Structure 1
Amino acid sequence: MPSLDHTIVHSTDRFASARFMAGLLDAPEPKAFGPFAVLKLDNGVALDYAEHVTEGQRFVPTHYAFLVTEDEFDAILGRIQAQDLPYWAGPRHHQPQTVNRLDGGRGVYIDDPDGHSMEFLTRTYSDELLAGF
C-alpha cells in the first residue's frame, strides 16, 4: 500500500517555521535541501518547508495532524504551555486552552507562525465518530 513520503508546507520563513515544529515535536534540526527546510518525522514522512516568494500572492493556511503517543502528547502539550502558546480543543479556535477527548483519545490544535492548523492527537478518529460530523 502506498505511504506518504513528504509534503510541502508553505511558509514565510522556512527555517523559522520548521524549527518551530521541530521544537514542539522534539525532532532533530531541519536540514536544507534545495529551496526547502526539511523536517524528518519518526515515521519517515518529511515536512518540506518552502518560503512563499511570489510577491503580492498569499498562500492558504492548511491543516496537518500528527498522531502521537500519550507520553508524546504530554510532552508536546507541556512545550506548548511552557511557551504560552494559544491552543484549542478544535480547529476553529473554539474552547481555548482546552484539550479535546474525542473518541477516547486526546487532541489539541495550535497555529504555527504562518497560520497553519497543527493538530496533535493520541488516537485516530473512528469511522463512527467521523460519521457523526
Structure 2
Amino acid sequence: MSYVPNRSVVFVVDDDPDMLRGVKRLLRQYGYEATLFSSAEAFKNHTDFEEALCVILDINLGDGSGIELRHRLKAAGNTVPVIYITGNDTPAVRAAALQSGCLAYLTKPFSAKSLIEPLERASAGLA
C-alpha cells in the first residue's frame, strides 16, 4: 500500500477520554487535525490509514495492546509512523515498543515539545 499522508491528520488512539481531549487540543494548537479512537476495536475497524501523517497510540488500551495494533498495521502493509504513549513504562514494554518500530516512545505525562517534534519530523518526511 502506497503511503501518501495528509500532512495534518493525526490518528490518536487512547481509552482515556481526558487524554484524547488533551492531545486533540494540543495538536490543534500546532495546526494538526486529530481523528480520535477510544478503543483498539474502533481503531481496528478503521481502514483509511493512508489518510494519516502519524498514529499516536496508547500501549495499554482497555481492549487490547497498542503494540499488537502496530504489528497488525505492519502485517497489512501500512507504513504510517507511530508514536507510542504509555503511563506504564517498563523496560520490557519499552523494548517491545521500540522493536515494533516507532517514531517516538513517550511516557505520560509528556511535554508538548516531546510530542510535536516527532510529528514535525514525520511531516517533513524524515520519519
Q: With structure 1 as the length reference, what TM-score do the two structures score?
A: 0.30
Indicate the structure whose relative CO is greater, using CA pairs within 8 Å and at least 6 residues apart.
Answer: 2
Q: With structure 2 as the length reference, what TM-score do the two structures score?
A: 0.31
Structure with bigger strand share is 1
The structure whose Rg is larger is 1
